[in-house]
Amino acid sequence: MNGAGNDFIVIDNRFFHFSDDEMSGLARRLCRRRFGIGADGVLAFNPPREENHHFRMRYVNADGSIGTMCGNGARCLARFARRTGIEVDEMHFETDAGVLRALVPAEEGEPVRIYLSPPRDFAEHVELVSDAARAAGAVHYIWTGTEHAVCFVEDVAAAPVALWGPAIRRDAKLAPNGANVDFVELSDAGEARLRVRTFEKGVEGETYACGTGAVASAVAARLMGHIKEDRVEVEMPGGTLVVGFGFAHGKIEDVYLEGPADVVYRGTFEM
């Protein structure tokens, strides 16, 4: 499956009962492009721990590390849940970043929306340690289900993501967890539209889209006064995501992420 080009291998773990260690091994083996299936990570569709929830999401990055949250992955797994027979428009599901709500239309091809946990720990102008990381300019930190460093740039297409991304992601100031790194270009017309490229930890490279990165970029832009609207279109290399939220008394709440969640193919592989 993919959400705006952010691609995933989805496993119905209600039947396989793979452990976290087994999932990590599968991710390292199967996500390796040209040698495996190829993906940014693996999504496990698990039975819920609480009866009033529809399922539990477990996400593993391509390098085998467990991810606390993946916005596009969560939307894809909600679409997958609908395909497995959970025929409801509104779902509640468990993640390592909290219990989330999803709106999943019955029509294939319609966008899927998820409501996320409130962002936290926003900090402007984080003083990074390494010279390579500081070369990117001002860096702002925010947690949107996972850690993000946001950098506003003049021209995102020209930003040296492959150079700055790893340096910021591994800077000692952001230890021990590191951070995904979002390079954000504001619209010249002052519109609520951003252009974003993201270097993702766990993938250790640029991805075509990042859901929590889209949210981090939009929320940081709103908190810093770069935009005034509470609904933001975020253009990423793989497509456009929509981020919405409520903003009152300096606080962001009711955050949602909306966009495509598509099945590419179904298949089998040998263990």
Positions marked active-site:
70, 210
Answer yes or no: are the C-beta atoms of 128 and 168 closer than 8 Å: yes
- Helices 71-83 and 211-223 sit at what angle, rounded to 10 degrees? 130
149 close to 139: Cβ distance less than 8 angstroms: yes
Do residues 198 and 182 touch, judged by C-beta distance below 8 A?
yes
For residue 75, what are its two tokens? 């939307």
DSSP type of residue 262:
B
Question: 40: closest CA among 183, 243, 237, 216?
Answer: 237
CA distance 118 to 43: 22
